[in-house]
Homo-oligomer: A and B are copies of this chain.
Amino acid sequence: MTVLVLTCEEDVTADLVVAELGALGVPLVRFDPADLPGRVALCAEYARGDFRGHLSVDGRLVGTAGVRGVWVRRPGTPAARAPGASAWLTAEAGQALYGMLSSTAARWMNHPAAAERARIKPWQLRVAHGSGFAVPPTVVTTFPRAAEQFAARHRRVVVKTLSGPPREEPGLLVPTALVGPDADFAAVAAAPTLLQRYVPRRADVRLTAVGGRLFAARKRSAPGQVDGRYGDSGHGWEPVAVPERIAGAVRAYTATARLAYGAFDFAEDEDGVWWFLECNQGGQFGFVELETGLPLARTVASWLAGLDSA
């Protein structure tokens, strides 16, 4: 029974889980696909219906037959640090590694195919609707006139990115921002723009789903705060019970999306309604655990080791 942790070198969240796996006595191998080939080597043989694979990390061999769980935490681009790195080598190394791991009986947190689909925000909105969440009305458009009409209809709207901050400008923050109905929407023609009805919030809620277990934390908002991720509200994260209706919706969502892990963000309005904002399949949980003491790292470790139903 071995757990594979695919991540880059500096990753505090991974460190927490690695420590818990150690405490549970679960063997683990942590590596970055960027080091394949190089520090990481592999061999997978497919013959007569059988499959046998092994992986070597810094000279330590692991048979894939014993791999119980694969945690795709924050892996680097395959072969990025290999001698002779190229886009082609990345494609070849990615095929070899993920193809080999997909041939095992291991459980994934999360499987790359599920993760890829789950990143698409308009798809999230549809699945969230279908799962029973309250979702603020949203438009994605390149028509300035459609953006203008949406803003006029809903009075107060926010603008967000679809795909997150630009990767080519690390460190650039793109917080959600309020837009008034009198704004100039001409620039909408230059890039698809997501506008969403503004939800005046009394708190942010982060719900972390790990396998079948749900952990929610709540942070009171500062008056008029628009984006709970930035700025200091003067309040901290505190554990909060998960309403039954929300628990059902989360389970429906993760089942449809085939996610073993999901970090759900909600805005809690003045009536106590939790509005679905997004589900980040690779969301951090270190800050929640550190502030609230919720046992997230231990739960992730147990799930990866297959000890969750024991």
A233 within 8 A of B: no
Q: How many copies does the complex hold?
A: 2
Q: Quick check: B139 and A43 within 8 Å, CB to CB?
A: yes
Q: Which residues of B are found within 8 Å of A162, using beta-carbon distances?
A: 91-92, 95-96, 99
Q: Which of A16-24, A81-89, A178-186 contacts B (4 or more CB under 8 A)?
A: A81-89
C-beta contact mask, A133-145 vs B, less than 8 Å → 1, else 0? Answer: 0010111111100
The answer to whether B103 touches A123, judged by C-beta atoms less than 8 angstroms apart, is yes
Q: Does A63 lie at the interface of the complex (its beta carbon under 8 Å from any beta carbon of B)?
A: no
Q: How many chain A residues touch B (Cβ–Cβ < 8 Å)?
A: 68
Cβ of A36 under 8 Å from chain B: yes
Which single member of B92, B137, B192 contacts A92 (CB below 8 Å)? B192
Cβ-based interface call for A12 (8 A): no
Interface of chain A, main secondary structure: mixed
Task: Determine if A60 is an interface residue (Cβ-Cβ < 8 Å).
Answer: no
A220 CB-CB contact with B under 8 Å: no
Stretch from A114-122, A244-252, A292-300 at the B interface:
A114-122
A51: Cβ under 8 A from any B Cβ: yes
Q: Is the CB of B91 within 8 A of A163?
A: yes
Give Cα A121 to B84, complex, Å: 22
**Interface status of A126 (Cβ within 8 A of chain B):** yes
Contact: B45 with A137, CB < 8 Å? yes
A42 to B162, CA, bound (A): 14
Q: Is A88 in contact with B192, judged by CB distance below 8 angstroms?
A: no
Which among B43, B86, B129, B142 is the interface contact of A37 at CB below 8 angstroms? B142
Answer yes or no: A167 CB below 8 A from chain B CBs. Answer: yes
Please, how many angstroms separate the alpha-carbon atoms of A140 and B45 in the complex? 6
A190 B143 Cβ-Cβ under 8 A: no
Q: List chain B residues, Cβ under 8 A from A137.
A: 45-48
**CB < 8 Å: which of B87, B102, B125, B167 contacts A88?**
B167
Contacting pair B93 A49 (CB below 8 A): no
Interface residues of A (CB under 8 A from B): 36-37, 41-49, 51, 56, 79, 82-84, 86-89, 91-100, 102-103, 113, 116-117, 119-123, 125-126, 129-130, 135, 137-143, 146, 150, 161-164, 166-169, 189-192, 194
A-B contact pairs, 8 of them (CB 8 A): A42-B142, A44-B140, A46-B138, A79-B191, A83-B190, A92-B192, A95-B119, A113-B113
